[in-house]
């Protein structure tokens, strides 16, 4: 498996490596160039890249569409906040433990919940998010109840922004790499046909559980970084269904089941909504809605497959197929 990961990273080549280097340079330079407002905008964008890419592992690659992915993000945020607030943990450790917390939640719910498929899985994830939200409001002594937790600012915006940026890069590379491993191939097979997958020696239960845990881990870390930035969390924010809706919307926008889709989606979506918000302060939501409807009609599979088709039409296909042969 490690060999496959190494091989896939090597196959990124000059273009892929250059793109990563350019991203890192821009990431490091941006805080010196742009205003703090833009930095926090970027941070929100990176956060959505993290959660969309993670959602894409269970929902895009494996085919189990989750309608409650906010729960992992929210649990990560809460674990971090409680550890810092109650137990005075150093905040970077608390952020990492936020990821452990959400992965742990994914582990305990995975076995029963992955017995369900299709709409039933989607609904039970939704119910899970709502249940955790109620539980967080209820256990006042641990979680601060419905009033939430206030933290004093500990980390600077720039540090948190950089953490989120590198996390996004890491998650995208992980998603890219797993599609080149046995694990990723198993997930894609499960998406297409579970019975066939099982007959080909794939332990589908185990693979789905692994996928959900991986899919729950990164949003938890992102939630932890988020809470250190805004210094406040309450159940209504942490388990807000509109975050799940945004995840699904953005990933669909970019292209479900692709690697670049969950990156393009948040980038395009953030840029678009920011532009509309600045240009049409009163109508931006309506216009955004209209654009989304048009996009779904025009490119039902998202931007990414559309761009691939466009590239093929222009004739770049030749270039890509030659590169692929060379890399084999």
Partner 1 sequence: MISQMQQKSESPDTKGKILEVRGLTKRFGGIIANDNIDMDVFVGEIVGLIGPNGAGKSTLFDMVAGVKPSGSKRFPDAGCVRFLGHDITQLKAHQVCRLGLARTFQIVRILEKMSVLENVTVGALCRTSEVYEAEKKAEKICEFVGLKDRQNLAAGELTIEGKKRLELARALATEPKLLLLDEVMAGLNPSEVAETLDLLRQINKQGITIIIVEHVMQAVMAISDRIVVLDYGKKIADDTPEAVVKDKNVIDAYLGSEDA
7 is an interface residue for partner 1 by CB under 8 A: yes
Count the residues of the shown chain that bind partner 1, applying the rule CB under 8 A.
23
189 is an interface residue for partner 1 by CB under 8 A: yes
120 is an interface residue for partner 1 by CB under 8 A: no
236: which residues sit within 8 A by CB, 6+ positions away? 133, 146
Instruction: Retrieve residue 151's tokens.
Output: 């933290």
| Full DSSP string of 280-302 | -TTTHHHHHHHHHHHHHHH-TT-
Considering the complex, state which of residue 63 and residue 266 has its C-beta at the smaller distance from partner 1.
Answer: 63
Considering the complex, state which of residue 133 and residue 207 has its C-beta at the smaller distance from partner 1.
Answer: 207
116 is an interface residue for partner 1 by CB under 8 A: no
103 is an interface residue for partner 1 by CB under 8 A: no
Binding marks (x or -) toward partner 1, 196..215, rule CB under 8 A? xxxxxxxxx-----------
Alpha helix ranges (H) inside the chain:
2-10, 13-33, 36-55, 70-87, 91-113, 118-138, 140-143, 157-178, 182-192, 194-199, 204-230, 235-238, 241-254, 261-279, 284-298, 303-314, 317-327
Beta carbon of residue 189, minimum distance to partner 1 (angstroms, whole number): 5
1 is an interface residue for partner 1 by CB under 8 A: yes
Residue 100 to residue 119: CA distance in whole angstroms: 28
Q: In the set 156, 193, 312, 317, which binds partner 1 (CB under 8 A)?
A: 193
Query: Among the candidate windows 3-11, 106-114, 162-170, 230-238, which touches partner 1 by CB under 8 A?
Result: 3-11
285 is an interface residue for partner 1 by CB under 8 A: no
Beta carbon of residue 193, minimum distance to partner 1 (angstroms, whole number): 5
CA-to-CA dists, residue 184 to 105, 163, 214, angstroms:
22, 26, 12
Assign 98 to helix, strand or coil: helix
CA-to-CA dists, residue 33 to 38, 257, 311, angstroms:
10, 34, 34
Beta carbon of residue 231, minimum distance to partner 1 (angstroms, whole number): 45
Considering the complex, state which of residue 196 and residue 311 has its C-beta at the smaller distance from partner 1.
Answer: 196
Binding site residues, partner 1, CB under 8 A:
1, 3-4, 7, 180-182, 185-186, 188-189, 192-193, 195-204
């Amino acid at each position: 498996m490690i060999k496959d990961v190494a091989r896939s990273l090597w196959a990124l080549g000059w273009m892929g490596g250059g793109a990563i280097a350019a991203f890192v340079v821009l990431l490091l330079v941006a805080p010196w160039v742009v205003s703090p407002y833009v930095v926090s905008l970027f941070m929100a964008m990176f956060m959505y890249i993290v959660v969309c890419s993670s959602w894409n592992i269970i929902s895009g690659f494996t085919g189990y569409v989750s309608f409650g992915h906010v729960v992992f993000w929210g649990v990560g945020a809460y674990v971090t906040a409680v550890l810092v607030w109650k137990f005075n943990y150093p905040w970077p450790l608390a952020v990492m433990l936020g990821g452990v917390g959400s992965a742990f939640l994914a582990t305990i719910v995975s076995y029963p919940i992955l017995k369900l498929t299709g709409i039933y899985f989607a609904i039970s994830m939704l119910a899970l998010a709502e249940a955790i939200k109620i539980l967080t409001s209820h256990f006042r002594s641990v979680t601060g109840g419905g009033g939430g937790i206030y933290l004093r600012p500990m980390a600077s915006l720039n540090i948190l922004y950089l953490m989120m940026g590198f996390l996004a890069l890491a998650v995208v590379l992980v998603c890219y790499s797993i599609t080149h491993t046995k694990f990723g191939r198993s997930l894609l097979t499960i998406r297409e046909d579970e019975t066939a997958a099982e007959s080909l020696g794939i332990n589908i239960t185990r693979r789905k559980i692994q996928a959900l845990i991986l899919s729950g881990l990164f949003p938890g870390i992102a939630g932890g970084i988020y809470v250190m930035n805004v210094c406040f969390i309450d159940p209504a924010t942490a388990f807000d269904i509109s975050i799940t809706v945004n995840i699904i919307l953005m990933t669909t926008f970019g292209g479900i089941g692709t690697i670049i889709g969950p990156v393009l989606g948040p980038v395009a979506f953030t840029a678009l909504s920011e532009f509309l918000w600045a240009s049409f302060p009163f109508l931006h939501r309506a216009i955004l809605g209209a654009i989304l409807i048009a996009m779904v009609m025009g490119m039902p599979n998202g931007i990414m497959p559309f761009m691939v088709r466009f590239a093929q039409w222009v004739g770049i296909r030749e270039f890509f197929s030659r590169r692929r042969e060379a890399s084999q």
